[in-house]
Protein backbone atom coordinates (compact mmCIF):
# COMPACT_ATOMS: atom_id res chain seq x y z
CA UNK A 1 0.00 0.00 0.00
CA UNK A 2 1.51 3.29 -1.05
CA UNK A 3 0.31 6.33 0.79
CA UNK A 4 0.60 9.46 -1.24
CA UNK A 5 -0.53 12.56 0.57
CA UNK A 6 0.70 16.09 0.99
CA UNK A 7 3.33 14.85 3.45
CA UNK A 8 4.81 12.51 0.88
CA UNK A 9 4.99 15.31 -1.64
CA UNK A 10 6.67 17.54 0.92
CA UNK A 11 9.14 14.78 1.71
CA UNK A 12 9.87 14.30 -1.97
CA UNK A 13 10.37 18.02 -2.40
CA UNK A 14 12.77 18.13 0.54
CA UNK A 15 14.71 15.16 -0.78
CA UNK A 16 15.00 16.71 -4.21
CA UNK A 17 16.35 19.82 -2.57
CA UNK A 18 18.90 17.80 -0.66
CA UNK A 19 19.83 15.87 -3.79
CA UNK A 20 18.92 12.64 -2.04
CA UNK A 21 16.20 11.52 -4.41
CA UNK A 22 18.35 9.13 -6.42
CA UNK A 23 17.63 5.43 -5.89
CA UNK A 24 14.79 6.08 -3.47
CA UNK A 25 12.05 4.11 -5.23
CA UNK A 26 10.32 1.98 -2.56
CA UNK A 27 10.12 -1.01 -4.94
CA UNK A 28 13.89 -1.17 -5.19
CA UNK A 29 14.21 -0.83 -1.45
CA UNK A 30 12.17 -3.93 -0.74
CA UNK A 31 14.22 -6.02 -3.14
CA UNK A 32 17.54 -5.81 -1.39
CA UNK A 33 16.53 -5.30 2.23
CA UNK A 34 13.36 -7.32 2.69
CA UNK A 35 12.28 -10.76 1.60
CA UNK A 36 9.24 -10.16 -0.60
CA UNK A 37 7.47 -13.24 0.83
CA UNK A 38 7.47 -11.67 4.29
CA UNK A 39 4.49 -9.47 5.00
CA UNK A 40 4.13 -6.98 7.82
CA UNK A 41 0.92 -5.63 9.26
CA UNK A 42 1.38 -1.90 8.92
CA UNK A 43 -2.29 -0.95 9.31
CA UNK A 44 -1.20 1.28 12.21
CA UNK A 45 0.05 4.19 10.16
CA UNK A 46 2.98 6.49 10.96
CA UNK A 47 0.74 9.05 12.64
CA UNK A 48 -0.80 6.46 14.98
CA UNK A 49 2.57 4.84 15.63
CA UNK A 50 3.83 8.26 16.74
CA UNK A 51 0.86 9.05 18.96
CA UNK A 52 0.24 5.56 20.42
CA UNK A 53 3.66 3.93 20.64
CA UNK A 54 6.61 6.28 20.24
CA UNK A 55 5.47 9.45 21.96
CA UNK A 56 4.17 7.80 25.17
CA UNK A 57 7.41 5.82 25.62
CA UNK A 58 9.59 8.87 24.84
CA UNK A 59 7.60 11.09 27.19
CA UNK A 60 8.29 8.68 30.04
CA UNK A 61 12.03 8.85 29.24
CA UNK A 62 12.02 12.65 29.14
CA UNK A 63 9.94 12.85 32.32
CA UNK A 64 12.43 10.54 34.05
CA UNK A 65 15.58 12.57 33.48
CA UNK A 66 16.91 15.87 34.77
CA UNK A 67 15.68 18.12 37.51
CA UNK A 68 12.87 20.58 38.09
CA UNK A 69 12.62 23.47 40.45
CA UNK A 70 9.13 24.18 41.72
CA UNK A 71 7.44 25.73 44.73
CA UNK A 72 8.50 22.83 46.94
CA UNK A 73 12.12 23.18 45.86
CA UNK A 74 14.59 21.27 43.78
CA UNK A 75 13.40 17.86 42.60
CA UNK A 76 15.29 15.16 40.78
CA UNK A 77 13.28 13.32 38.14
CA UNK A 78 15.51 10.26 37.79
CA UNK A 79 14.23 6.88 38.99
CA UNK A 80 15.21 6.14 42.57
CA UNK A 81 14.69 2.36 42.67
CA UNK A 82 15.83 -0.66 40.66
CA UNK A 83 12.24 -1.17 39.53
CA UNK A 84 12.06 2.46 38.43
CA UNK A 85 15.18 2.10 36.28
CA UNK A 86 13.92 -1.22 34.89
CA UNK A 87 10.70 0.52 33.88
CA UNK A 88 12.43 3.33 31.99
CA UNK A 89 14.76 0.76 30.38
CA UNK A 90 11.66 -1.00 29.04
CA UNK A 91 10.35 2.29 27.61
CA UNK A 92 13.72 2.78 25.91
CA UNK A 93 13.35 -0.69 24.37
CA UNK A 94 10.05 0.47 22.83
CA UNK A 95 11.91 3.42 21.29
CA UNK A 96 14.57 1.06 19.87
CA UNK A 97 11.91 -1.09 18.24
CA UNK A 98 9.91 1.93 17.06
CA UNK A 99 12.94 2.74 14.91
CA UNK A 100 12.55 -0.65 13.23
CA UNK A 101 8.79 -0.23 12.90
CA UNK A 102 9.25 3.07 11.09
CA UNK A 103 11.77 1.54 8.70
CA UNK A 104 9.35 -1.15 7.49
CA UNK A 105 8.04 -1.11 3.94
CA UNK A 106 4.53 0.31 4.16
CA UNK A 107 5.67 2.96 6.65
CA UNK A 108 9.01 4.13 5.34
CA UNK A 109 8.78 7.23 3.15
CA UNK A 110 12.00 6.43 1.27
CA UNK A 111 15.21 4.46 1.42
CA UNK A 112 17.47 7.40 2.28
CA UNK A 113 17.08 9.97 5.04
CA UNK A 114 14.02 8.25 6.53
CA UNK A 115 16.09 5.12 7.18
CA UNK A 116 18.87 7.16 8.76
CA UNK A 117 16.45 8.88 11.14
CA UNK A 118 14.84 5.55 11.98
CA UNK A 119 18.24 4.06 12.81
CA UNK A 120 19.04 7.18 14.83
CA UNK A 121 15.94 6.57 16.90
CA UNK A 122 17.04 3.01 17.65
CA UNK A 123 20.59 4.15 18.50
CA UNK A 124 19.34 6.77 20.95
CA UNK A 125 17.05 4.13 22.48
CA UNK A 126 19.99 1.73 22.91
CA UNK A 127 21.97 4.47 24.69
CA UNK A 128 19.02 5.09 27.00
CA UNK A 129 18.71 1.34 27.69
CA UNK A 130 22.41 1.07 28.54
CA UNK A 131 22.30 4.13 30.76
CA UNK A 132 19.21 2.79 32.55
CA UNK A 133 20.88 -0.60 33.06
CA UNK A 134 23.91 1.18 34.56
CA UNK A 135 21.64 3.65 36.41
CA UNK A 136 23.89 6.37 35.00
CA UNK A 137 21.97 9.64 35.26
CA UNK A 138 24.30 11.75 33.12
CA UNK A 139 24.31 9.22 30.26
CA UNK A 140 20.55 8.78 30.57
CA UNK A 141 20.04 12.52 30.26
CA UNK A 142 22.34 12.68 27.21
CA UNK A 143 20.44 9.81 25.56
CA UNK A 144 17.20 11.76 26.07
CA UNK A 145 18.72 14.82 24.43
CA UNK A 146 19.95 12.75 21.50
CA UNK A 147 16.50 11.20 21.16
CA UNK A 148 14.88 14.62 21.06
CA UNK A 149 17.22 15.78 18.31
CA UNK A 150 16.32 12.74 16.16
CA UNK A 151 12.58 13.44 16.54
CA UNK A 152 12.95 17.06 15.54
CA UNK A 153 15.32 16.31 12.65
CA UNK A 154 12.93 13.81 11.07
CA UNK A 155 9.92 16.08 11.60
CA UNK A 156 11.86 18.98 10.10
CA UNK A 157 12.53 16.90 6.99
CA UNK A 158 9.15 15.20 6.60
CA UNK A 159 6.55 17.18 8.49
CA UNK A 160 7.79 20.58 9.74
CA UNK A 161 4.31 21.41 11.10
CA UNK A 162 4.88 18.86 13.87
CA UNK A 163 7.84 20.81 15.25
CA UNK A 164 5.88 24.03 15.49
CA UNK A 165 3.21 22.08 17.35
CA UNK A 166 5.83 20.79 19.82
CA UNK A 167 7.01 24.35 20.41
CA UNK A 168 3.42 25.52 20.89
CA UNK A 169 2.80 22.79 23.46
CA UNK A 170 5.97 23.68 25.35
CA UNK A 171 5.01 27.33 25.42
CA UNK A 172 1.69 26.53 27.11
C1 LIG B 1 11.63 8.70 10.69
C2 LIG B 1 10.96 9.96 10.87
C3 LIG B 1 10.38 10.31 12.21
C4 LIG B 1 10.96 10.19 13.44
C5 LIG B 1 12.35 9.67 13.79
C6 LIG B 1 10.00 10.69 14.40
N7 LIG B 1 8.87 11.08 13.76
FE8 LIG B 1 7.17 11.76 14.67
N9 LIG B 1 6.30 11.99 12.84
C10 LIG B 1 6.87 11.69 11.63
C11 LIG B 1 5.93 11.99 10.57
C12 LIG B 1 6.16 11.80 9.08
C13 LIG B 1 4.77 12.49 11.18
C14 LIG B 1 3.47 12.94 10.50
C15 LIG B 1 2.55 11.74 10.36
C16 LIG B 1 1.25 12.09 9.67
O17 LIG B 1 0.60 13.06 10.09
O18 LIG B 1 0.90 11.38 8.72
C19 LIG B 1 5.05 12.48 12.62
C20 LIG B 1 4.12 12.88 13.57
C21 LIG B 1 4.34 12.89 14.93
C22 LIG B 1 3.38 13.30 15.92
C23 LIG B 1 1.96 13.80 15.65
C24 LIG B 1 1.02 12.61 15.68
C25 LIG B 1 -0.43 13.03 15.48
O26 LIG B 1 -1.31 12.46 16.13
O27 LIG B 1 -0.67 13.95 14.66
C28 LIG B 1 3.97 13.16 17.14
C29 LIG B 1 3.37 13.48 18.51
C30 LIG B 1 5.30 12.66 16.92
N31 LIG B 1 5.51 12.50 15.56
C32 LIG B 1 6.21 12.38 17.93
C33 LIG B 1 7.50 11.93 17.70
C34 LIG B 1 8.48 11.74 18.74
C35 LIG B 1 8.25 12.02 20.22
C36 LIG B 1 9.62 11.28 18.14
C37 LIG B 1 10.93 10.93 18.75
C38 LIG B 1 10.95 10.17 19.97
C39 LIG B 1 9.33 11.19 16.71
N40 LIG B 1 8.05 11.59 16.50
C41 LIG B 1 10.24 10.74 15.77
C42 LIG B 1 8.13 11.17 11.43
C43 LIG B 1 9.05 10.88 12.42
Return d(Cα 130, Cα 156) in angstroms, integer.
28
The pLDDT of residue 37 is 76
- What is the Å distance from ligand 1's center to 55 Cα? 8
Task: Please give the chain's pLDDT, 172 residues, in tens.
Answer: 344 444 444 444 444 444 444 444 455 445 555 566 788 999 999 999 999 999 999 999 999 999 888 888 888 999 999 999 999 999 999 999 999 999 999 999 999 999 999 999 999 999 999 999 999 999 999 999 999 999 999 999 999 888 887 665 555 4
The pLDDT of residue 9 is 41
Domains of the chain in sequence order: 44-171 (1.20.120)
Residue 150 neighbours by CB under 8 Å, 6+ apart? 117, 120, 121, 124
CB 99 within 8 A of CB 125: yes
The pLDDT of residue 69 is 87
55 lines ligand 1 (CB under 6 A): yes
93 lines ligand 1 (CB under 6 A): no
Return d(Cα 107, Cα 101) in angstroms, integer.
8
Candidate of 98, 155, 168 to mutate for ligand 1, largest count of ligand atoms within 8 Å of Cβ = 155
The pLDDT of residue 116 is 98
Amino acid sequence: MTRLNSHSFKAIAVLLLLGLAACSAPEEASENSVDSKVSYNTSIDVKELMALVLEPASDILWDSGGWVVDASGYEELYPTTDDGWAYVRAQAAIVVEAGNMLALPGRSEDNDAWQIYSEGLSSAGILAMEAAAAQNKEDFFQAGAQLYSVCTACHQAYNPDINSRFVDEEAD
